[in-house]
Amino acid sequence: MTTSKLNDFVIKLANVNGTGSASANGMLMKSIFRMGIPVTGKNFFPSNIQGLPTWYEIRVSKDGYLCRSGKVDFMVAMNAETYNADLAEVDPGGYLMYDSTWPRKDMSDRSDVTVLGIPLSAMCNEAFESARAKVLMKNVAYVGALVALLDIDMSMVENLLKETFSTKPNLADANMQAIRMGFDYAMEHFDCPLPLKLAPMDSTVGHVIVDGNTTAGLGAVYAGATVTSWYPITPSTSLIDAFSLFCQQLRKDSDTGENNYCVIQAEDELSAIGMVLGANWNGARAFTATSGPGISLMSEFLGLAYYAEIPAVLYDVQRVSPSTGMPTRTQQCDIVSAAYASHGDTKHVLLFPADPTDCFHMSQVAFDLAERLQTPVIVLTDLDIGMNDWMIPEIEWDDSYQPDRGKVYDAKQLKDMDAFYRYLDVDGDAIPWRTLPGVDAKGAYFVRGSGHNKFGGYTEKSDEYKDVVDRLRRKFDTAATLVPAPVLNIDDSKPREKSFALVSIGSCDAAIREARDRMQQDGQGNLDYMRIQAFPFNNDVADFIARYEQVFIIEQNRDAQLRQLLTVELSIDPNRLVPLLSYDGMPVSSHFIVEGVSKLMKQGHAA
């Protein structure tokens, strides 16, 4: 029995970390993309530099689904250590390719999987001189075999090699030799192409392949950020790397040759957020990127920023917790800790991007909100969005965009006024006016995390203290009207499910979109779906939930943190909010959601 599929299957590549498989796997994915077939790549890598198992999962989807399907049709098993588990993961009717140079005795076998052996090591040991090339070229050779087996357009591979090695033609030749070796072996020994194969489409026109950390870093450049400080932490480091690289390319002043940006690697996260606050206090757009452990360390300063009303933007690229957790696996586990980071009555604005497109655009939204509201804004992305390869429509930019710098008195306004007081609610929206250092002595005030009154002076008087913290609470009512509204996905073309609906955030979106389609196709119902984009919750959030008997809250953490926030902040009866949770560290699959939602609907109807 073999699976017959066209442009709709999953290839998973099991490798050893540090053997150079990433570039070969990327080339494979990009070749498929350039054939016009929608494709995404997800990297399941260890917290290790060399030696531990690593996987790359390529989903080919003619319908453009970007999530994990939850199944594997073709396994490239290059790691003997994980061979048995890799074989077990293949869906019945699927294929497994392995390096037949080494015997597979003691290894399990499956009659429902077609096993293809190729002596990759033997071929490469013979063809290449250096020890490093022998290792690297094995990866390139299996790509060559896949070109034959899956009917990949060879010219796409050739072009990619030429582009990659444009300055090193020798390497391009060696790589092409390895591709040919794998290709020729497969053509000679197997019936190519397999029933699992590719055919050109035109569905990737106007699209790009990119990860969310890259688009977030670029988004910060377009938002006008000039200062960043961070402490290296997986999986956020590549966001700062992207920002730095784009600044080197785009922010060297054409007149002076000087850098119109400042990137500072801090000694720890406490210092990183301190620098961000110092810079924002002084009028620059400054940000940091971190992950859960960093948010813990930044919490003290976040409380100061909330209370003293200093803008700041943080990207929290979430990874598996608690504690150090699994640093290279994904989760949405910092929702509660980010919302209330720091001691006391503290609250922060959160944004929930769903994909790299959102990471770009929400960067401008984050800086605009931070300066408009004079408070930290935390962009809660995750490892799946941040480090995996997503296919997205080309990002569009409106050149008329102007940053919203919020309420800042300039020198002239200060000269014209009798006196300036920092924390007065002049406009009735609970947002005070601020001034920047260096502008005018009349604007001078003292930022403090200690008790202060509405004039900015130190206080220990109860009524003066309450006056300020009550206004801060009202400021969050204003925030709820300014943050992005939820995205409502409602399909009126078919009868809709009336009793139940779906609510989710962030990177669950791709899997939910596919799951809704599958459930509709299978006659399991047409469910309305709301994707929340921000905290504090916009009024539309409560309105949506009120329409159904129960909503299923889909999120990627153990303790249903989004549900906690909804329950506490909107005073919704918890019985109406039913959690569906995926928290094993893998990006949630559409399969998981279809199964989970079907079960919850049956339980709900029975109740």
Number of Cβ within 10 Å of residue 543's Cβ equals 12
By beta-carbon proximity to another protein, the closer residue of 228 and 332 is 228
345 touching another protein, by CB under 8 A: no
Q: Which of residues 30-59 bind another protein (CB under 8 A)?
A: 30, 33-34
By beta-carbon proximity to another protein, the closer residue of 412 and 605 is 412
410 touching another protein, by CB under 8 A: no
Q: Are 196 and 9 in contact (CB under 8 A)?
A: yes
Angle at 579 (CA atoms; ends 575, 580), nearest 5 degrees? 150
Report the alpha-carbon distance of residue 275 to residue 360 in Å, rounded: 23
In whole angstroms, how close is the CB of 321 to another protein at the nearest point? Answer: 24
- Of 167, 402, 571, 575, the one binding another protein (CB under 8 A) is 402
337 touching another protein, by CB under 8 A: no
Report the alpha-carbon distance of residue 62 to residue 80 in Å, rounded: 32
Q: Which of residues 294-323 bind another protein (CB under 8 A)?
A: 300-301, 304
Which residues have CB under 8 Å from 229's CB, separation 6+? 263, 264, 265, 266, 271, 272, 273, 275, 276, 279, 286, 288
256 touching another protein, by CB under 8 A: yes
Q: Are 73 and 3 in contact (CB under 8 A)?
A: yes
Contacts of residues 114-123 at CB distance under 8 Å and 24 or more positions apart, as own/partner, are 114/2, 116/145, 116/149, 116/186, 116/190, 118/142, 118/145, 118/182, 118/185, 118/186, 118/189, 119/185, 120/78, 120/182, 123/181, 123/182, 123/185
Find how far residue 299's CA is from the centre of its chain.
22
CA proximity to 143, closest of 58, 84, 80, 39: 58
In whole angstroms, how close is the CB of 361 to another protein at the nearest point? Answer: 12
In whole angstroms, how close is the CB of 368 to another protein at the nearest point? Answer: 12
Q: Are 588 and 383 in contact (CB under 8 A)?
A: no
- Of 191, 398, 418, 492, the one binding another protein (CB under 8 A) is 398
155 touching another protein, by CB under 8 A: no
By beta-carbon proximity to another protein, the closer residue of 3 and 213 is 213
For the window 422-451, what string marks contact with another protein as x by the rule CB under 8 A? -------------xxxxxxx-xxxxxxxx-
The four Cα atoms 320, 324, 326, 328 give a dihedral, to 10 degrees, of 90
- Of 85, 107, 108, 397, the one binding another protein (CB under 8 A) is 397
- Of 27, 279, 350, 378, the one binding another protein (CB under 8 A) is 279
Residue appearing with tokens 């990619």: 160
In whole angstroms, how close is the CB of 597 to another protein at the nearest point? Answer: 34
By beta-carbon proximity to another protein, the closer residue of 283 and 325 is 283
By beta-carbon proximity to another protein, the closer residue of 178 and 312 is 312
130 touching another protein, by CB under 8 A: no
Give the DSSP letter of residue 370.
Answer: H
262 touching another protein, by CB under 8 A: yes
- Of 52, 115, 395, 542, the one binding another protein (CB under 8 A) is 395
By beta-carbon proximity to another protein, the closer residue of 322 and 449 is 449
Q: 63-90 in b/e burial notation, b at 16+ Cβ within 10 A?
A: ebbbbbbbbbbbbbbbbeebbeebbebb
CA-to-CA separations, 76 to 12, 85, 390, in angstroms, rounded: 6, 12, 21
In whole angstroms, how close is the CB of 227 to another protein at the nearest point? Answer: 5
By beta-carbon proximity to another protein, the closer residue of 441 and 607 is 441
- Of 263, 297, 336, 572, the one binding another protein (CB under 8 A) is 263
- Of 63, 268, 345, 477, the one binding another protein (CB under 8 A) is 268
# residues contacting another protein (CB under 8 A)? 73
Q: Which of residues 181-220 bind another protein (CB under 8 A)?
A: 207-210, 218
Q: Which of residues 79-118 bind another protein (CB under 8 A)?
A: none
Query: Which tokens hold the place of 92?
Result: 């019945």
- Of 250, 469, 488, 568, the one binding another protein (CB under 8 A) is 250
63 touching another protein, by CB under 8 A: no
267 touching another protein, by CB under 8 A: yes
In whole angstroms, how close is the CB of 387 to another protein at the nearest point? Answer: 15
403 touching another protein, by CB under 8 A: yes
Report the alpha-carbon distance of residue 558 to residue 328 in Å, rounded: 18
Q: Are 26 and 389 in contact (CB under 8 A)?
A: yes
The residue range among 49-57, 255-263, 329-337, 375-383 that interacts with another protein, by the rule CB under 8 A, is 255-263
By beta-carbon proximity to another protein, the closer residue of 111 and 256 is 256
Sign of the torsion formed by the C-alpha atoms of 591, 193, 110 and 116: negative
- 310 class by beta-carbon count within 10 Å (0-12 exposed, 13-18 middle, 19+ buried): buried
- Of 13, 178, 186, 227, the one binding another protein (CB under 8 A) is 227
Residue type, 515: A
What's phi and psi for 120, nearest 5 deg?
A: -65, -45
Which residues have CB under 8 Å from 463's CB, separation 6+? none
In whole angstroms, how close is the CB of 396 to another protein at the nearest point? Answer: 8
- Of 239, 276, 289, 586, the one binding another protein (CB under 8 A) is 276
Q: Which of residues 454-513 bind another protein (CB under 8 A)?
A: 458
In whole angstroms, how close is the CB of 52 to another protein at the nearest point? Answer: 29
Q: Which of residues 369-388 bind another protein (CB under 8 A)?
A: none
β partners of residue 532: 505
Q: Are 197 and 150 in contact (CB under 8 A)?
A: yes
